[in-house]
Structure formats: structure tokens, C-alpha cells
Amino acid sequence: MLQLLLLTLPCLGGSVPVTPDPDPGQELVGISGGCNVSGRKYPWQASLRSYSKSARGWEHWCGGALINPQWVLTAAHCMEPEDLEACAYRVQVGQLRLCDHNQLMKITQIVRHPDYNASSGAWGGADIALLKLEAPVALSDEISPIGLPSALSRVPVGKTCWVTGWGDIGPGEPLPWPYHLQEVDVHIRDSSTCDRTYRHDVPSNDTGRVIRDDMLCAGAPSRGLCHGDSGGPLVCRWNCTWVQVGIVSWGHHCTIRDLPGVYTRVSSYVSWIRQQISSDVSP
């Protein structure tokens, strides 16, 4: 079953998990076949939290990446329903173990890409959103932004990149306490081949394609996305520099059929990202 990629995980302090009720065929995914992250390897990793009335606490909902001291990049489908205001969310950065030494930050602005259509969801493309933090974070070895690609850059097929998150580690197997950030290496896949793979599962656009120009496929046998962590970063290392090339968007359940995960192609939206950050649009 095809899925979007969401999850709730409890924080320390007695909160209980609340699993969202996605629309049919629209569950969310995370990391399967990954390993614990060591040290401060991914200092841009962010956890998006939503408030659970039943749990009376802030629970991990989606992933994200710090791209600027005051801005986080995530998936647009993580910010649904659209009528929820920025005050309904919090962001945590600088953690490897989820909810360890929480210092939750308020969000003052949610900027969804104008081409994102909630009715078609991530499969319709433009699955990208920006979150403005209440104040810039203090940068350190534990917290620093990820670089962005140029608008003209293309990731070569076969290149090894990494995806990180706090999602399930296998079909029906939640990430165990203390919810240590997971990483997995994946390989960039050919978009045409990926399109043929998914053609019978996802509605195509007016060109007859499922994998749109603003999407990127990546995966590896028995490793990749699972239930949890939409919005998380797909990063590659170029010339000794880490660059975020994708945003976790949608895919097939865990590693069944070894299908690649589908990511929003960040290079398609670099100009838009920079425009939003520089103009500092009011909510």
C-alpha cells in the first residue's frame, strides 16, 4: 500500500503514542534497515511536534531540516490540515535521542508552496513547506544548517546519499525507546524506471507520469523508508560539503518489493526557498 510518511512518537514524561488516522492509502513512512546515528553527524536534523490533547504533551510528528538559523524545511503534507495555525506546532533541533533534553521552539509562520494541493497530496507534487522559528537558534557543533543545492544541480543516478529519521525500523516495528535517530544509505534511482515502477499505484499527471520533475527517487535493497518521518532530509556529500537534495515525501510500505522512496527534489524549489527567507513574508 502506498503511503505518505507520518508518525507520532511519545516524548519522555509519560506521553503515550497517538497514531494518526490517514486517508486510505496515505500512511506515512520512516527508516527501515538503518543504524543509530553516532556523534553529531546530522546537526541540521529537526523534529516537528504537534500537541496531543489526549496525551497532554508534544509528540513527534514529522522530520525536517534546519536550513537557516530561523527556518526549517519540511514536507507540505506534514502541515495538514491547513486550518491549523503555527501555534499548533513546535520544533526541536540538536537531538539524537527523541525528546532528550527538550528545548521546544515555537513556530511563527508556516509557508506552504502555492502549488501544493492538499486534495491530491504529496503525489501531486510541490510537497514542500518552510517553518519560521520564533527566534534564530544558537549555532554550535550540535546545531547547524544543511546546505542547499543550486537550482541547476542534478544528482547522478547511483550516487549514495543518506536519509535520517525517527520512523519505524521495520513493518509494524516501531523505533524503540530512547528513540535514537536512525540513518540509512540509499542510492539515487533513475526517474523513468521509478515512474514505471509506481505507474499502477499512483494517479499520473497530465503527461501520464507519476514521478514528476520535482520528485527524486532513492532506495536500496531491504533499506529505506518505512512508517514515520515525512519531511525529513535526504542528504548527499559533494566536494566535502553536505547538501540536502530531497525531502521525504511518499513511498511503499517499508521495504516490501524493495521499491524506492520518493522525495521532493529540493533543487526544483531553491529559488522559492531563498525568496521566502529573504522576503520574510508575513503570515
Catalytic residues: 77, 127, 230
- The answer to whether the beta carbons of residues 235 and 161 sit under 8 Å apart is yes
Q: Is 15 helix (H, G, I), strand (E, B) or coil?
A: coil
CB atoms closer than 10 angstroms to residue 232: 38
Report the amino acid identity of residue 67: I
Q: Considering just the CA atoms, what is the radius of gyration of the chain in Å?
A: 17
Query: Measured in whole angstroms, how far is the alpha carbon of residue 259 from the centre of its chain?
Result: 18
Among candidates 67, 33, 10, which has minimal Cα distance to 220? 33
Enumerate the β-bridge partners of residue 89.
50
- Alpha-carbon gap, residue 122 to 164, rounded angstroms: 19
- The answer to whether the beta carbons of residues 234 and 161 sit under 8 Å apart is yes
Please, which contacts does 142-145 make with residues 24 or more away whose CB atoms are closer than 8 Å? 142/40, 142/43, 142/94, 143/43, 143/44, 143/66, 143/93, 143/94, 144/43, 144/44, 144/66, 145/44, 145/66, 145/67, 145/68, 145/69
- Alpha-carbon gap, residue 113 to 134, rounded angstroms: 20
